[in-house]
Structure 1
Amino acid sequence: MTVDDLPAVLEIERSTFPADAWSEGMLRGELDDQPRTRHYVVALVGGEIVGYAGLAAAGDQADVQTIAVTAAHQGTGVGGAMLRELLAEAARRGATSVFLEVRADNPQARGVYERYGFTELGVRRGYYDDGTDAITMMRKLHG
Structure 2
Amino acid sequence: MSDDDLAVISQIEPTLYSHPWTVGNFKDSLHSGYSAWVMEISGNIAGYALVMMVLDEAHLLNISVAQAYQGQGLGRTLLLYMIEISQRHQAANMFLEVRVSNHKAIALYESMGFCEIGLRRHYYPTKTGREDAVLMGLAL
TM-score exceeds 0.5: yes
Counterpart check, 1:63 vs 2:54? no
Corresponding position: 1:10 with 2:13: no
The match for 1:75 is 71
For structure 2, which runs of at least 5 residues remain unmatched after alignment?
none
* Amino acid in the other structure paired with 2:14: R
Which protein is richer in strand relative to its size? 2
Counterpart residue number, 1:133: 132
Q: Which residue of 2 aligns with 1:42?
A: 38
Question: TM-score w.r.t. structure 2 length?
Answer: 0.94
Deviation at 1:50, TM superposition (A): 1.3
Aligned residues: 137
Q: In the aligned structure 1, how far is the partner of 2:80 from the partner of 2:36?
A: 13
1:11-58 Cα deviation digits (max 9, x unpaired): 11111112x211111110001122xxx111111122110111110002
SS in structure 1 at match of 2:131: coil
SS at match of 1:137: strand
State the Cα RMSD in Å. 1.0
Identity of counterpart residues, as a percentage? Answer: 35
**Deviation at 1:85?**
1.2
Alpha-carbon distance in structure 1 between the residues aligned to 2:71 and 2:118: 26
C-alpha distance after superposition, 1:70-102 (max 9, x if no partner): 112112111111111111111111110100001
CA distance in 2, matches of 1:8, 1:79: 18
Match of 1:30 in 2: 29
Measured in 2, the distance between the counterparts of 1:57 and 1:111 equals 24
Q: Which runs of 4+ in 1 moved over 2 A?
A: none
